[in-house]
Structure 1
Amino acid sequence: MEVQALLITFREALEALLIVGIITSYLKRVDHREYTKYVWLGAGLAVLASIGAAILFQVVFTGFAAMGSEIYLKIGIMIVSALLLTQMVFWMAEHSRDMKQNVEGKMDQFITAGNVAGMVIHSFLVVLREGVETVFFFAAITHGNIGAAIQGWGAATGIAIAALVSYFFFKGTMRIPLKAFFKVTGAFIVLIAAGLLVQAISMMQDIGLIGSVMPHVYDLTWLLPEHPIDYEHYVRDHGVAPVFSGEVGVFLKALFGYSAMPSLEEVIAYIGYFAVVYLLVTSRRGQKSAVVEKPAIAALEEKTKNVM
């Protein structure tokens, strides 16, 4: 859980800090430092609103628990989080290259119009989006216990690393190719999303919400049990220890949704998820290539006409 929290918090916090940093750097560059306080005001209000969202979410989850329906909320959170994480990766991959230009364009509009409220609202919404996403993802990886993720070392470490990276980035002492950076972190986020989806399916099967054609496709407990308890049971039943400890299994299950005895539906969902992601990636690349090729083809046709 802590590694998941670290990665998610780092990614979300860095995204927010980069955008806020781009805004404040641009305001200083165009000699409008007086507006930076409004940008930080919006960001600060968004942090408070995100904390409020976390408290509200926890109250709602406690209410579901009191009614004995928290398992359904957990499943829903996991599925929605998997979709949101995937969407977030694709959105950032598409917009990371033009992020600076788009943000500065909006600031130009606000400065020209003297729209202070617009600056506050813009920075507020940018940071709030990342904050609410973080709350939602924390709920997914902790099964509703958001406080555990917030209080753990993962979240604090993720924020600290994001702050350091953004500080050195804007100081000019660290050069980060944003597109490549978000591709690497995006790959880990996709693995987490796949794990959440598979865990949601496993929970639905545990409560009988959906059945299974084949409850156990294979059994890797001898190699890597999911939990220390499974490790102990294997030693008791077979007289030999598995190759790896249950602690490793717990770590991989929390991070990537590892299962020592997955059902057929879990295997299909895991493979199917990556197949869909691959198809989406290749289709987007094809669309970009078509957009680049069209002007070149048009220019070639025009040149041919002129020659003729």
Structure 2
Amino acid sequence: MNVQSFLITFREAFEAILIVGIIMTYLKRIGQTQWNKWVWVGVVLALAASYGVALVFQTVLTGFATMGSQNYLKIGIMLVSCVLLSHMVLFMGQQSRSMQGKLENKISAILTVGGVLNMIVHSFLVVVREGVETVFFFAAITGGDIQKALQSWGALIGLVAALIVGYLFFRGTRKIQLKTFFRITSVFLMMIAGGLLVQAVGIMQDIGIMGTIYKTAGGEVGEIYNLTAIMPEHPLDETQHIRDTGEQPLISGQVGIFFKAFLGYTQNPSVEEFVLYWAFYLVIIIMQGLQKKRYEKLHAVQSITGA
């Protein structure tokens, strides 16, 4: 249980640290650190909300009898987070092409319009999603005794490890130029957003909210390929694969669950998961291209008019 608590806490905490760290590093690099306090407000509210979910689940709800209701909450948070992260990717891309002007003043003007709420909502949803997922995962591995997992050394070491890795990551970005920083972090955010989308689709298909165009003979959601023998998406899938085939997968399920949490990796995606995952990247790339053309056109007009 300690090892499971460590892995769960590390991956959930690190993803939250990664995104919140990108927001705060971004604000620091453009000289808008006055917004940091609102990011922290969102983080604190999210931690309080996560603790509230854990408390309710522990003392009021009836464990596994109500765990099905978590799916609706997870779907909603994942989809909203995907939209917000996608917006951030496009926003950062736009600003990276506007650095020749008075960047700080431009961004300050943009952030002023609903900026406080924007910072709070972004940081809140990022952290609360990880917090709520941690609560549900802890409930699963302990049979509903969340407090037992929270007090384990595995959870503590996982949190410390996530903080250390996050610190080392962002310390390494200090020497990176702002334009390069935008590009690198935009890729991270886009991959996380795409992963959230495909995870939400998978959950909706599992509980019957969303159908599929390809079903098995038994009427279940069909898969277009299966990579379980290469890398299972969860240790339980690894155990089942070993039991069924007598062979170890090429890559451990512990690695698979890490990639699933970050990138939405699926060992056996449905048609909808596969198509929407890559369609998401295509849409983002097209929108970034349109942004670039719009900026170049505006820059050309300003050059002609001398504005």
With normalisation by structure 1, the TM-score equals 0.69
Q: 1:221 to 1:164 in 2, by over 3 A?
A: closer
Q: Give 1:240 shift.
A: 1.7
Q: Give 1:135 shift.
A: 2.4
Q: Report the secondary structure of 1:182's partner residue.
A: helix
Which residue of 40, 53, 59 maps to 1:47?
40
Q: Report the secondary structure of 1:218's partner residue.
A: coil
Aligned residue pairs total 259
Q: 1:223 to 1:125 in 2, by over 3 A?
A: same
* Residues 11 and 162 in structure 1, CA contact (< 8 A), matched pair in contact too: no
- Give structure 2 stretches of 5+ with no counterpart: 1-10, 136-149, 215-221
* Residues 17 and 163 in structure 1, CA contact (< 8 A), matched pair in contact too: no
1:280 lines up with 2:287 in the alignment: yes
Which residue of 245, 268, 275 maps to 1:268?
275
1:15 lines up with 2:26 in the alignment: yes
Q: 1:293 to 1:248 in 2, by over 3 A?
A: same
Q: Report the secondary structure of 1:222's partner residue.
A: coil
Q: 1:203 to 1:61 in 2, by over 3 A?
A: farther
* Residues 82 and 193 in structure 2, CA contact (< 8 A), matched pair in contact too: yes
Taking only the aligned residue pairs, the percentage that are identical comes to: 31
* Residue number in structure 1 paired with 2:8: none
Q: Give 1:197 shift.
A: 0.3
Which residue of 114, 122, 136 maps to 2:125?
136
Q: Give 1:180 shift.
A: 1.5
- Give structure 1 stretches of 5+ with no counterpart: 25-38, 110-120, 300-308
* Residue number in structure 1 paired with 2:238: 231
With normalisation by structure 2, the TM-score equals 0.69
Q: Report the secondary structure of 1:187's partner residue.
A: helix
**Worse overlay, 252-261 or 10-19:** 10-19
* Residue number in structure 2 paired with 1:75: 75
CA RMSD of aligned residues (A): 3.8
- Distance of 1:46 and 1:219 partners within structure 2: 40
What are the equivalent positions in structure 2 for 1:1-308 lying under 5 Å apart? 1-2=11-12, 3-19=14-30, 22=31, 44=37, 47-48=40-41, 50-56=43-49, 59=52, 66=61, 68=66, 69-96=69-96, 97-98=98-99, 101-103=102-104, 129-145=118-134, 152-153=159-160, 156-157=163-164, 160-161=167-168, 164=171, 174=175, 176-214=176-214, 215-294=222-301
* Residue number in structure 1 paired with 2:138: none
